[in-house]
Amino acid sequence: MANSKTWIKISFLSCLVFVALAETGEADKVPEAPKEDDGVLVLTDDNFKGVIEKEKFVLVEFYAPWCGHCKALAPAYAEAAKQLKKSENPVPLAKVDCTVEKDVCNTHQVQGYPTLKWFKDGEASDYDGPRDHDGIVSYVLERSDPNYKPPPEAVLTLTKDNFDEITQKEELMLVEFYAPWCGHCKKIGPELEKAAKVLQKREKPIAIGKVDATVETDLATKFEVTGYPTMLIMRNGKKYEYKGPRNEPEISEYLINQEGEATKLKATMKEVKNFIKEPNNNDPVILAVADNTEDPIYKLFVEANNDVRDDYSFGHTFAKEAKKYFGLKKSAILLIQPDHLRSKHEAKQHVYQDESGSPSEVQKFYKKNYIPLVGFFRTDNEKRFEKKPMVLVFYDVNFSPTYRSITQFWRSKVVEVAKEFPDIQFAVANEEDSEGRLKDLGLTESGEDVNVGAYDAAGRRYALVDEEFSEDTLTEFVEEFLKGNVKPVIKSQRAAPKAKPGKVQVVTGNTFDQIVMDESKEVFIEFYAPWCGHCKAIEGYINKLAAKYKGEKDIIIAKMDGTLNEGPSQYAFEGFPTIYYSLPGKKNDPIKLDGKRDMDALVEFIETNSKVLKNKKTEL
């Protein structure tokens, strides 16, 4: 009986202790097992520690639902999770929504999305692997499975010992020169591997290789590698510039289009005539007229075209009648303009016949003759109009058969003026396709059927205003433009007053030449944007510079709002802030600040480049 009472007391006391512990929160909590989302474990502030401590290896993605890069990664990450779950030694992939689970994200100092971390025995390290399915799987297995043997890379590793042997036997090959530490190289590496796998499965495979330029320094020097990654096309050991994309599947598509010769055979004279007289073609064609594939001109033609195959339309013919048709006595490369773009003042065809010439000389021949006396300026070919000065005539340009006569009516007037000014590039442009240029010239509301703009070598714009278009008005405009009597059209705010001593001088587009290009002054000029955070951060430093050099009458500290004003092309800015130091005698070659922008760095920039300050020190 005594024993029975004792047990009753013990049981009663145990219940009281359990209730007390439960009420004070000291009873053990069993964390909820993590849920899965498409094969990926969903971790929270509550279950994160338990999962990390339980699993020897875990890869965790810290993400935000609105993050574009996170969304792009999600499919590959999920597929990798499913594959790794089925492996001999399964490794979980997990994710944490940092917009909800803020404690764990703060603990692991997550500052950007997606952030991936590799956990081994609970210890975290930054994930530095690829972000595609195969790359993630390989990364995890290499670190978790001692028996794992990665599949051989599809991209060939090239060294000084095998480079020539491999590249010389390949008709077409892509080679990447890289550095192991290069971020861009790490990004493109998986893309090249994917492309290589696709291309090696083709009936006629295309190889991709890579060279570690930090190890194979002789190869890097031989191929003039100065930055990473450097991509080259190799054709039987000869190098050509790679002008293609850096993502798959675009890489493999580009390389497939690079196969074979850039030129197509025109076997009969009918094919030749159709090629050179294509009615809808607004660009010249380039035709090799040769005897056979062993003809030196043909071989030179083929080699020259490899590097520019995307830039021109090439054809070749071995037809016996071709030389007579084109008035040739020997083989030649011909550049032929469309009939509607060739005037009576121009040769019917441009001819190259130097068998001993080089590919670069042939390419110069193409470039020199590509634009006719009056070209057709379009958005898809504007880079070809490099020659300056240039005069553009804007109207309703349309060379289709229905509208060709009216288009040629205006163009013929431009031709008659152009022949008198051989040092100027002339072209016509469709006004609807050139709204941006017309706006920059201030001609969108001109009310004229035909508008004219001119561009000088410095990138400045000039407009023909308040004049009805004719040969005479165009001629007069060009003459005055060449004499410097036409004022440029400049994007500008209203001119700011002259700054007081010790204050920053505000420059506008219209006052840029007066202030910055003043040959009697040294000018420190900052191009800024009102919304730019970095600009706001250094605003105080710029004000302090003006105060510091208050006593230097020949040094001006200035700034210009780059969103509302513009200056000469020598003072180009693609981002904000951009800072230059402009010296007398070198106004067209300003010194750009590349580096830190704190107060000490800005002072050093001025004192290193200022002739005024150096002369004062010399005098002392």
**What residues are labeled active site?**
182, 185, 532, 535
Judge contact between 415 and 374, C-beta under 8 A: yes
Question: What pairs with residue 156 in β-bridges?
Answer: 209
Query: Cα–Cα distance between 572 and 422 in angstroms, integer?
Result: 29
Burial of 77 (0-12, 13-18, 19+ CB in 10 A): buried
Judge contact between 105 and 158, C-beta under 8 A: no
Judge contact between 134 and 193, C-beta under 8 A: yes
For residue 389, whether the previous peptide bond is cis, meaning omega lies within 30 degrees of 0, is yes
- Structure-block tokens of residue 100: 């909800």
Task: Report in angstroms the alpha-carbon separations of 48 from 42, 91, 93, 119.
Answer: 9, 16, 12, 12
Query: Cα–Cα distance between 486 and 455 in angstroms, integer?
Result: 11
Query: Cα–Cα distance between 371 and 343 in angstroms, integer?
Result: 12
Q: What are the φ and ψ backbone dihedral angles of 81, each rounded to 5 degrees? A: -60, -45
Query: Cα–Cα distance between 263 and 279 in angstroms, integer?
Result: 20
Query: Nearest-CA neighbor of 189 among 253, 236, 138?
Result: 138
Query: Cα–Cα distance between 155 and 251 in angstroms, integer?
Result: 13
Q: Tell the residue number behind the tokens 């009216």, with chain if given.
A: 406
Sheet holding 264-265, edge to edge: 264-265, 314-317, 285-289, 332-336, 350-352
Question: What pairs with residue 489 in β-bridges?
Answer: 461
The CB density around residue 63, as the number of other CB atoms within 10 Å, is 24
The CB density around residue 174, as the number of other CB atoms within 10 Å, is 26
Query: Cα–Cα distance between 65 and 68 in angstroms, integer?
Result: 8
Judge contact between 513 and 460, C-beta under 8 A: no
Query: Cα–Cα distance between 60 and 275 in angstroms, integer?
Result: 59
